[in-house]
């Protein structure tokens, strides 16, 4: 015991009602190291970090910071103890400048000027030390996500944090931005800062961490040196069984053209053009993967195809044009045309979280006569339908009366998938199919998508996970700033090229 530990957790337990979110968790993190925490959704990572940052109090256990037992009743106490947190969803004031955001809540006195001057000096110094160049006078809403994240890190450093916790920091970044972030983190580590990185991406763990802890169902299943492990081993530790990290699929046998999109444009409520002339085609029996950093028009593409955003241009399904602005430009009419849609945000759009599972299996198809004649709904028919879907899609627990919000992310997604796939659509729109889904369910969902393709359906897959795009797609289109930068065949491209295209730096040209 020569080197002091930056953080030590001893026997942390936390329960929410009957759910044991953390059970007897102990970790030791050395000063000046990067420690990864990996686990499936709902494994208890976020709860553990919330305890460390003072949002929750542990039911039992001890937190030692720098060797001293420390009580962390609230986030101010965490900041005082030298802990800084970078959340997945940034907590910045959009219309404040970088400098104002950095100082906010940590002003030295009633007057702002001295604090701002101090912050400006510090920012300049940090920019030199760690490649963290952010214009201190830029307004947050004008900055890209990568830079906004840097502001979050600067905020923590301004508060003299020695321990930095980052929660899923790369979810919104391009590969290049992620690399930049990792260089910053490496620099901070070399300065003696301690970094805890929460992620579900095995690749990041392997790339940057020194040690890694794996969580499963509220328990810490292992802590290992990253150099001594492999992605396969970590995946197995996370899920508790062997996991296939690749998707087994046969080459596609494309048939007739199902979807044709020409010069599709969408202007949003703030009159910003979100889609600037999209052209694409999808044939039966083919998966077109749309890659891109989130916010580059993919959501709008799904929304306009799904019928709940207005647009201009031409969309044809099976050769017949679709109404983009008139009375039948709604989601109901799209469903009638054989378009099924698994939305990107299943909790906001795809499900009514307070509805029971059986109510959700009819959602969007609640006019179907098989769910009741005329004015009344046949709730019993919905329940029966739900039971069947739960069995075929292995939804757990198979209880139709459970509200959607009480299922795990993966099981919620299975309910949505079952509902959409079993309508036997010609075209399936599917956004972020495995976001917030545990590894075990990812495998199943990928198999379902490929199986639907093999039945001769056209599939439009939108995902920010490049691994997923590469694994599933028969063709890949990369979106940047409302345009398609180009199409590639998965066999003829790699993460590097796609990453450049996602950043708008290369592209053009259509794959054969």
Partner 1 sequence: MNDAMPRWADIVLIPIINLVLALLVSGIVVAMIGENPFEALVFLIKGAVGSAYGWGYTLFYTTNFIFTGLGVAVAFHARMFNIGGEGQAALGGLGVALVVLTVPWPHWLLALPAAIVGAMAFGALWAAIPAYLQARRGSHIVITTIMFNFIASALMVYLLANVLKVPGSASPESARFIEGARLPNANDLLPFLGFPRSTPLNVSFLVAILACVGVWVLIWRTRLGYEIRAFGHSEPAALYAGISPTKIVMVSMLISGGLCGLMAINAVMGEAERLVIDPVQGAGYVGIAVALMGRSHPVGVFMAALLFGVLYQGGIEVQYEIPGFTREMIVVIQALVILFTGALDNMVRAPVERVFLSRRRQPVAPEPTTPSQPGGHPEKGQAEP
Strand pairing partners for 198?
37, 167
Tokens of 331: 């989601």
DSSP letters, 94-151, are TTSBHHHHHHTT--SSS-HHHHHHHHHHHHHHHHHHHT----TTSBGGGS-HHHHHHH
DSSP, res 418: H
Binding piece for partner 1, criterion CB under 8 A, among 99-107, 177-185, 326-334, 461-469: 326-334
**Interacting residue with partner 1 among 136, 254, 364, 499 (CB under 8 A):** 364
**Interacting residue with partner 1 among 91, 246, 332, 392 (CB under 8 A):** 332
Nearest residue to 194 via CA among 65, 61, 11: 65
Contact between 372 and partner 1 by CB under 8 A: the answer reads: yes
Contact between 458 and partner 1 by CB under 8 A: the answer reads: no
Contact between 40 and partner 1 by CB under 8 A: the answer reads: no
Interface with partner 1: number of residues (CB under 8 A): 39
Chain residues 251-310 in contact with partner 1, contact rule CB under 8 A: 306-308
Closest CB to partner 1 among residues 13, 447: 13
Strand pairing partners for 280?
261
* Shortest distance in whole angstroms from residue 331 CB to partner 1: 3
Report the C-alpha gap between 274 and 300 in whole angstroms.
7
The label of the residue with tokens 């459970």 reads 402
Contact between 381 and partner 1 by CB under 8 A: the answer reads: no
Closest CB to partner 1 among residues 251, 369: 369
N-to-C CA span, the chain? 61
* Shortest distance in whole angstroms from residue 20 CB to partner 1: 7
Closest CB to partner 1 among residues 167, 420: 420
**Interacting residue with partner 1 among 34, 72, 351, 476 (CB under 8 A):** 351
Binding piece for partner 1, criterion CB under 8 A, among 68-76, 78-86, 360-368, 491-499: 360-368
How many residues does the structure list for the chain?
512
Closest CB to partner 1 among residues 36, 343: 343
Distances 422 to 340, 345, 398, 414, 425 between C-alpha atoms, Å: 10, 20, 17, 12, 8
Binding piece for partner 1, criterion CB under 8 A, among 95-103, 188-196, 341-349, 442-450: 341-349
Nearest residue to 474 via CA among 511, 430, 420, 434: 511
| Contact flags string 52-91 toward partner 1, x per CB under 8 A | -------x--------------------------------
Binding piece for partner 1, criterion CB under 8 A, among 38-46, 89-97, 344-352, 483-491: 344-352
Contact between 333 and partner 1 by CB under 8 A: the answer reads: yes
Report the C-alpha gap between 244 and 250 in whole angstroms.
16
CB proximity list for 142: less than 8 A, separation 6 or greater: none
Report the C-alpha gap between 38 and 214 in whole angstroms.
5
The label of the residue with tokens 């797609």 reads 473
Binding piece for partner 1, criterion CB under 8 A, among 104-112, 122-130, 134-142, 329-337: 329-337
* Shortest distance in whole angstroms from residue 24 CB to partner 1: 12
Strand pairing partners for 320?
317
**Interacting residue with partner 1 among 125, 263, 406, 455 (CB under 8 A):** 406
**Interacting residue with partner 1 among 1, 2, 3, 18 (CB under 8 A):** 18
**Interacting residue with partner 1 among 64, 206, 243, 352 (CB under 8 A):** 352
**Interacting residue with partner 1 among 167, 359, 438, 443 (CB under 8 A):** 359
**Interacting residue with partner 1 among 30, 363, 447, 506 (CB under 8 A):** 363
Contact between 392 and partner 1 by CB under 8 A: the answer reads: no
CB proximity list for 4: less than 8 A, separation 6 or greater: 31, 66, 67
**Interacting residue with partner 1 among 64, 353, 381, 506 (CB under 8 A):** 353
Binding piece for partner 1, criterion CB under 8 A, among 156-164, 257-265, 349-357, 488-496: 349-357
Q: Are 296 and 317 in contact (CB under 8 A)?
A: no
Report the C-alpha gap between 178 and 176 in whole angstroms.
5
For the packed helices 175-190 and 112-130, what is the interaxial angle rounded to 10 degrees?
100
Binding piece for partner 1, criterion CB under 8 A, among 148-156, 262-270, 277-285, 343-351: 343-351
Three-class secondary structure assignment of 162-206: CEEEEECCCCCCCHHHHHHHHHHHHHHHHCCCEEEEEECCHHHHH
The label of the residue with tokens 């289109």 reads 477
Contact between 492 and partner 1 by CB under 8 A: the answer reads: no
Contact between 486 and partner 1 by CB under 8 A: the answer reads: no
Core vs surface per residue 120-141: b (16+ CB within 10 A) or e: bebbeebbeebebebebeeebe
- DSSP helix/strand/coil, 54: coil
Tokens of 399: 């209880």
* Shortest distance in whole angstroms from residue 17 CB to partner 1: 5
Contact between 425 and partner 1 by CB under 8 A: the answer reads: no
Report the C-alpha gap between 33 and 5 in whole angstroms.
10
Chain residues 106-165 in contact with partner 1, contact rule CB under 8 A: none
CA max distance for the chain: 77
* Shortest distance in whole angstroms from residue 345 CB to partner 1: 8
Interface contacts to partner 1, rule CB under 8 A? 15-18, 20, 59, 306-308, 330-335, 341, 343, 345, 348-355, 359, 362-364, 366-367, 372, 375-377, 379, 405-406
């Amino acid at each position: 015991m020569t080197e002091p530990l930056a953080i030590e957790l001893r026997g942390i337990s936390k329960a929410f009602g009957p759910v044991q979110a953390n059970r007897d968790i102990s970790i030791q993190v050395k000063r000046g190291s990067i420690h990864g925490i990996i686990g499936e959704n709902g494994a208890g990572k976020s709860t553990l970090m919330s305890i460390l940052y003072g949002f929750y109090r542990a039911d039992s256990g001890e937190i030692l910071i720098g060797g001293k037992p420390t009580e962390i009743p609230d986030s101010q106490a965490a900041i005082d103890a030298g802990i800084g947190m970078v959340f997945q969803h940034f907590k910045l004031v959009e219309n404040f400048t970088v400098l104002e955001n950095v100082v906010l809540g940590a002003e030295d006195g009633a007057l702002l000027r001295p604090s701002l001057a101090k912050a400006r000096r510090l920012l300049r110094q940090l920019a030199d030390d760690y490649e963290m160049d952010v214009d201190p006078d830029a307004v947050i809403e004008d900055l890209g996500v990568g830079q906004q994240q840097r502001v979050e890190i600067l905020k923590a450093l301004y508060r003299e944090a020695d321990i930095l916790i980052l929660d899923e920091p790369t979810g919104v970044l391009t590969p290049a931005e992620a690399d930049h972030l990792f260089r910053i983190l490496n620099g901070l580590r070399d300065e003696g800062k301690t970094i805890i990185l929460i992620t579900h991406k095995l690749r990041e763990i392997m790339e940057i961490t020194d040690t890694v802890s794996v969580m499963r169902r509220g328990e810490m299943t292992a802590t290992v040196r990253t150099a001594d492990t492999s992605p396969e081993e970590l995946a197995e530790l996370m899920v508790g069984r062997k996991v296939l990290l690749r998707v087994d699929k046969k080459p596609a046998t494309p048939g007739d053209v199902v979807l044709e999109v020409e010069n599709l444009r969408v202007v949003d409520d703030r009159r910003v053009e979100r889609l600037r002339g999209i052209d694409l085609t999808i044939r039966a029996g083919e998966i077109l993967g749309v890659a891109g950093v989130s916010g580059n028009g993919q959501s709008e593409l799904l929304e306009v195809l799904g019928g709940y955003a207005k647009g201009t241009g031409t969309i044809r399904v099976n050769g017949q044009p679709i109404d983009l602005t008139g009375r039948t430009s709604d989601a109901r009419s799209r469903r009638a045309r054989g378009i099924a849609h698994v939305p990107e945000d299943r909790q906001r759009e795809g499900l009514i979280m307070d509805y029971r599972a059986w109510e959700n299996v009819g959602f969007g198809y609640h006019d179907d006569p098989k769910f009741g004649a005329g004015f009344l709904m046949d709730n019993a028919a919905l329940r029966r339908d739900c039971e069947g879907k739960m069995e075929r899609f292995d939804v757990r627990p198979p209880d139709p009366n459970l509200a959607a919000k009480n299922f795990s992310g993966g099981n919620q997604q299975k309910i949505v998938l079952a509902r959409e796939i079993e309508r036997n659509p010609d075209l399936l729109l599917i956004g972020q199919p495995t976001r917030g889904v545990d590894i075990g369910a990812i495998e199943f969902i990928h198999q379902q998508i490929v199986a639907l393709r093999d039945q001769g359906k056209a599939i439009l897959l939108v995902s920010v996970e490049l691994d997923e795009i590469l694994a599933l797609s028969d063709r890949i289109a990369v979106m940047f700033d409302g345009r398609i930068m180009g199409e590639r065949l998965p066999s003829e491209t790699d993460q590097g090229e796609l990453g450049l295209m996602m950043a708008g730096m290369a592209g053009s040209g259509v794959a054969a």
